[in-house]
């Protein structure tokens, strides 16, 4: 039996669909905070709130493999993830896969510390593990792409920093390959898209898709934060976005490893394909 936590999230839904193509539905469990939202998944559903360790333990009973999809609450991930790791150890799972971040144990990426701490928890548990260090999703840029298509412009502070993104479905397919395959124990996969692109190149692709002139304006971090605050973002969120652009400018998101392509057995989805679905 394979248990997928966070299964009603966007990544989780892709994973469940991928597993259903390879396994009988009764061998798949969706562990979710709100079971009502999982009624359409077509698999066994168990309630598992990351903040309720007892519920998480019950949801993982009988599991052979578990995919821990990282929580979305920045600052709360480590204790939440600990509940899953402890439950997985109690259940005696033979593989715990975790969706981590690029170079989580060494990167200055703003998102890395919680992922590094979770990886350490998993290592300390003694469970066989697979770390799926997911790079950026094409879909992270959905709002930017739509805004640019509508207004002809977008802004940021990443300079010529590149992003080697891939579609969310590509990363889900990698998780499915690990969960349904063999030989992935105690391995780390640095996952990225096949091509890294800059915001200028993103503007060019949006222009091709829309037939409009699209411009990218590169701001200083201070200008970027001010623009985000003016747009109505809370200060903490604005600072986070600016920090991510700084990470990108520093080259932390542009590595092309080829490991995602190898795991899924096909090329990753270009950003141009995602743009085409949005504009």
- pLDDT (tens digit, 9 = 90+) per residue, 195-249? 999 999 999 999 999 999 999 999 999 999 999 999 999 999 999 999 999 999 9
pLDDT exceeds 90 at position 142: yes
Domain assignment of residue 174, yes or no: no
CATH (domain of 144): 3.90.25.10
- My answer on whether 107 and 14 are in the same domain is yes
pLDDT exceeds 90 at position 72: no
Domain assignment of residue 180, yes or no: no
CATH (domain of 19): 3.40.50.720
- My answer on whether 76 and 98 are in the same domain is yes
- My answer on whether 121 and 232 are in the same domain is no
- My answer on whether 106 and 199 are in the same domain is no
The predicted structure's pLDDT at residue 78: 93
Domain assignment of residue 259, yes or no: no
Domain assignment of residue 177, yes or no: no
- My answer on whether 8 and 98 are in the same domain is yes
Segment 101-105 shows an average pLDDT of 95
Domain assignment of residue 175, yes or no: no
Instruction: Output the CA angle 169-170-174, nearest 5 degrees.
Output: 115
Q: Please tell me the pTM assigned to this model.
A: 0.94
What percent of the chain lies above the pLDDT cut of 90?
95
pLDDT tens per residue across span 4-15 = 999 999 999 999
pLDDT exceeds 80 at position 171: yes
Q: Into how many domains does the chain fold?
A: 2
| Token pair of 262 as six digits | 């190898």
Residue 204's domain spans which residues?
140-163+194-254+270-278
Q: How many helices (H) does the chain have, and how many strands (E)?
A: 11, 9
17: three-class secondary structure by DSSP: helix
Q: Spell out a b/e string for 109-135, using b for 16 or more CB atoms within 10 Å of the CB, else e.
A: bbbbebbbbbbebbeebebbbbbbbbb
Lowest average pLDDT, out of 72-86, 153-167, 217-231, goes to: 72-86
The predicted structure's pLDDT at residue 43: 97
- My answer on whether 127 and 228 are in the same domain is no
- My answer on whether 43 and 108 are in the same domain is yes
- My answer on whether 80 and 147 are in the same domain is no
Segment 157-167 shows an average pLDDT of 97
């Amino acid at each position: 039996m394979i248990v997928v936590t966070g299964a009603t999230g966007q990544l989780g839904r892709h994973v469940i669909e991928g597993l259903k193509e390879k396994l009988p539905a009764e061998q798949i469990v969706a562990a979710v905070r709100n079971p009502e939202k999982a009624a359409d998944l077509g698999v066994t559903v168990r309630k598992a709130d990351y903040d309720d360790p007892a519920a998480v333990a019950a949801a993982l009973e009988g599991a052979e493999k578990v995919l821990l999809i990282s929580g979305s609450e920045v600052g709360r991930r480590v204790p939440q993830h600990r509940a899953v790791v402890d439950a997985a150890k109690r259940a005696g799972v033979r593989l715990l896969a975790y969706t981590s971040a690029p170079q989580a144990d060494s990167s200055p990426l703003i998102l890395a510390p919680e992922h590094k701490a979770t990886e350490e928890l998993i290592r300390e548990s003694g469970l066989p593990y697979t770390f799926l260090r997911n790079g950026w999703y094409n879909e992270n840029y959905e709002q930017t792409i739509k805004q640019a298509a509508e207004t002809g412009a977008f802004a940021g502070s990443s300079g010529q920093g590149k992003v080697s993104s891939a579609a969310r479905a590509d990363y889900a397919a990698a998780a499915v390959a690990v969960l349904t395959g063999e030989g992935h124990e105690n391995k780390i996969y640095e996952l990225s898209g096949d091509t890294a692109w800059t915001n200028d190149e993103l503007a060019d692709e949006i222009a091709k898709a829309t037939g409009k002139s699209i411009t990218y304006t590169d701001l200083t971090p201070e200008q970027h934060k001010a623009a985000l605050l003016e747009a109505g973002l809370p200060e903490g969120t604005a600072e986070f976005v600016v920090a991510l652009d700084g990470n990108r400018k520093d080259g932390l998101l542009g590595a092309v490893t080829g490991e995602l392509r190898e795991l899924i057995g096909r090329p990753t989805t270009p950003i141009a394909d995602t743009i085409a679905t949005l504009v």
